[in-house]
């Protein structure tokens, strides 16, 4: 028997039952034609590959020099957390905490949670607490603001380039690639497919 679920259209609020869709299939509202759901192809495998890549990029971004500044004969290198420490040491504890959460801790928790979900699903296993972990991952997604942090860095680099020579480090490129990796996970991962695997509908 085909599994059905009840959902409301986000455009016209029409309640309707949606069947399980084949890979690549879409469901639209019969009243207004709004897209209700799209079943992504190879969602689990592609999301897992991007998550593994994102975890490696995250480790690189937090382990190697992020930026270097050359002023005459002196070269000073910084890592990602150096800016957070500088903010804290200047009395901006609230801003330092916000940057730490949105650029380091929340992305790390998101990647770890995705691995906790996707690896067992790939192996057809169900570790405890999968549903709760996935809810946390979904809740943390809007708070991962690495692209905002990267935009602020680019603006600062434009001003600092007049004072010293900027030496981009390997962590800077890893951080930029990590932004695209996490965006790719959000694009390819099918939340409905994950929920169906975690809590199959009768």
Task: In whole angstroms, give the CA distance from residue 149 to residue 102.
Answer: 9
Per the structure, the complete domain to which residue 27 belongs is given by 1-39
* pLDDT number for residue 2: 43
- The DSSP output letter for 142 is G
Question: At 37, is the pLDDT very low, low, confident or very high (cuts 50, 70, 90)?
Answer: low
- Per-residue pLDDT, averaged over 148-157, amounts to 79
Residues 162 and 97 in one domain: yes
* pLDDT number for residue 115: 93
* pLDDT number for residue 166: 75
CA proximity to 54, closest of 143, 186, 181: 181
Residues 193 and 103 in one domain: yes
Q: Could you tell me which residues come within 8 angstroms of residue 174 by beta carbon, excluding any fewer than 6 positions away? A: 57, 58, 60, 61, 64
pTM of the full predicted structure?
A: 0.77
* pLDDT number for residue 64: 86
- Per-residue pLDDT, averaged over 68-73, amounts to 73
Residues 88 and 25 in one domain: no
Residues 193 and 141 in one domain: yes
Residues 108 and 22 in one domain: no
Residues 175 and 194 in one domain: yes
Averaged pLDDT of the chain: 81
- Per-residue pLDDT, averaged over 34-59, amounts to 84
Residues 69 and 7 in one domain: no
Residues 129 and 80 in one domain: yes
Q: Which is higher by pLDDT, 166 or 123?
A: 123
Question: How many structural domains does the chain have?
Answer: 2
Residues 126 and 158 in one domain: yes
Residues 78 and 168 in one domain: yes
């Amino acid at each position: 028997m085909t599994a059905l679920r009840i959902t409301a259209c986000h455009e016209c609020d029409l309640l309707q039952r949606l069947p399980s869709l084949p890979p690549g299939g879409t469901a639209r509202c019969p009243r207004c034609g709004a897209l209700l759901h799209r079943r992504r192809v190879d969602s689990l495998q592609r999301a897992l590959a991007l998550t593994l890549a994102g975890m490696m990029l995250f480790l690189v971004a937090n382990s190697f020099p992020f930026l270097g500044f050359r002023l005459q004969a002196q070269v000073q290198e910084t890592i990602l957390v150096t800016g957070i420490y500088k903010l804290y040491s200047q009395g901006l504890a609230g801003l330092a905490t916000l940057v730490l959460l949105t650029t380091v801790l929340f992305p790390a928790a998101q990647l770890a949670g995705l691995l906790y979900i996707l690896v067992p699903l790939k192996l057809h296993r169900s570790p405890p607490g999968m549903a709760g972990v996935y809810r946390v991952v979904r809740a943390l997604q809007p708070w991962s603001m690495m692209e905002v942090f990267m935009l602020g860095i680019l603006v600062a680099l434009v001003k600092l380039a007049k004072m010293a020579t900027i030496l981009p480090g390997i962590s800077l490129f890893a951080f930029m690639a990590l932004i695209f990796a996490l965006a790719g996970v959000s694009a390819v991962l099918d939340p409905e497919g994950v929920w169906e695997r975690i809590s199959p509908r009768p």
